[in-house]
Structure 1
Amino acid sequence: MEISVELLKSLFELHDGVITAKELAEAGFTRTLLYICLLNGWLIKESHGRYVLADNQPDEFRMIQNRSEKLIFSHGTALYLHGLSDRVPHELDITVPQGDNVSRIKRDYDNTRFHYCKKEIWGLGITEATTPQGYTVKIYDHERCICDLIKDKKSVDTQIYSQAMREYFSGKCNPRKIVKYAREFNIEEKVRTYMEVL
């Protein structure tokens, strides 16, 4: 198999900029070819069994989420992707179900902050958003983000908290949906207070 930069680029585009050793093998890349690509500096090993193009600035949101289907961007990171916060996150907030082992991801990405939630509510409000580089990732919807903020108020930056609450309750508010979510989080009374005040 002859390797060309164009072939590599098209292959990586199909896989959102990150490709696994298995996917490379399925595309006809032997271990020897993979080694040649690494040796020539065309590919970089991103993490165990995962590769990115050397001349391409990979999308960090996509790279991290590709590590597990259970990683959902939440809190400040989701607010930023929704446009409810203008602060670019220095740490990426990720929610996973309680009991999930994310130690390897924490080790590989020190700019991540993990939040754990009960498995029953982990899937509540999952939607998709586009990253600044144009990739699609899974995040929590507006209502879930607001409930997470209220629930974790003590650990949230005051400015992010205030801006998100103002933005949401002054225009993007879906009263029925947020009250439904609030019941799941046992914060219905707090949410109703915010709805009245804001």
Structure 2
Amino acid sequence: MSKFEILDCLLQENNGFLKTSDATKAGISRTYLGEYVRDRGLARVTQGLYMAQDAWDDGMYVIQVRYPEAIFSHETALYLLKLANREPLQYTVTLKTGANSAGLTKQGIKVYKVKDTLFEKGITEAQSPAGHTLRVYNPERTICDLFRSRRNIEIQDLQTAVKEYVRLKNKNIPLLMRYAKSFSVEKTVRQYLGVLL
């Protein structure tokens, strides 16, 4: 297989996007990658990420490539987990306390921060609308995040999310309550569930 064919495969596997890191892992030099990018007419989306002309734009995937430490959370997680009926107007991510969020904030992304001990709880994966795998918090963690941030969340979004969660076949109420305790929202979550269950 030629280097061009290897890069074609990488581009196809990643739904029209090509990361420099993936090309170098495949043993292709940056010089050769540059030739490929010019020859195929790829557009540079951000540092280390190129996109084919016929690829769907995927803002969430670009955010994840640029900020790999960010986890999609809150309203964006609801949407990715199919617990919301509309795409959020503003993407939402969570970072560890102390992480630099200036670049994300400048792009209009809502950033929440949480201490290291809580950051890793509930990380899972979901597909973006364009088919890329993204890091996102699971439904149980997302419900707890919404309750923690309820002053900044539309009450209707919170109520819809909890109702949709209760309808899930694979919901995990014991896990939800463990998270609720860790995030100090156990009483509120219990009250909401008492009405819906």
Match of residue 168, structure 1, among 160, 165, 168: 165
Displacement of 1:158 in angstroms is: 2.6
1:121 partnered with 2:118: yes
8 Å Cα contact 2:104-2:111 kept in structure 1: no
| Aligned residue number for residue 178 of structure 2 | 180
- Say if 1:25 and 1:171 are closer, same or farther in 2 by CA, change over 3 A: closer
Displacement of 1:25 in angstroms is: 4.3
Percent of aligned pairs with the same amino acid: 32
| Aligned residue number for residue 81 of structure 1 | 80
Distance 2:104 2:62 in 1: 11
Match of residue 137, structure 2, among 136, 140, 149: 140
Displacement of 1:101 in angstroms is: 1.8
TM-score (norm 2): 0.83
8 Å Cα contact 1:146-1:164 kept in structure 2: yes
8 Å Cα contact 2:83-2:164 kept in structure 1: yes
Q: How does 1:4-19 map to 2 (within 5 A)?
A: 8-15=7-14, 17-19=16-18
Displacement of 1:66 in angstroms is: 2.1
Distance 2:160 2:25 in 1: 47
1:70 partnered with 2:85: no
- List gaps (5 residues or longer) in structure 2: none
8 Å Cα contact 2:78-2:139 kept in structure 1: yes
- Say if 1:53 and 1:157 are closer, same or farther in 2 by CA, change over 3 A: same
Distance 1:80 1:90 in 2: 11
Displacement of 1:17 in angstroms is: 4.1
SS in 1 for 2:66: coil
SS in 2 for 1:10: helix
8 Å Cα contact 1:90-1:111 kept in structure 2: no
- List gaps (5 residues or longer) in structure 1: none
SS in 2 for 1:66: helix
Deviations 1:134-173 (A, max 9, x none): 2221211111111111111110123211211222235555
Distance 2:34 2:122 in 1: 42
Distance 1:171 1:25 in 2: 41
Return 58-67 or 91-100, whichever deviates more.
Answer: 58-67
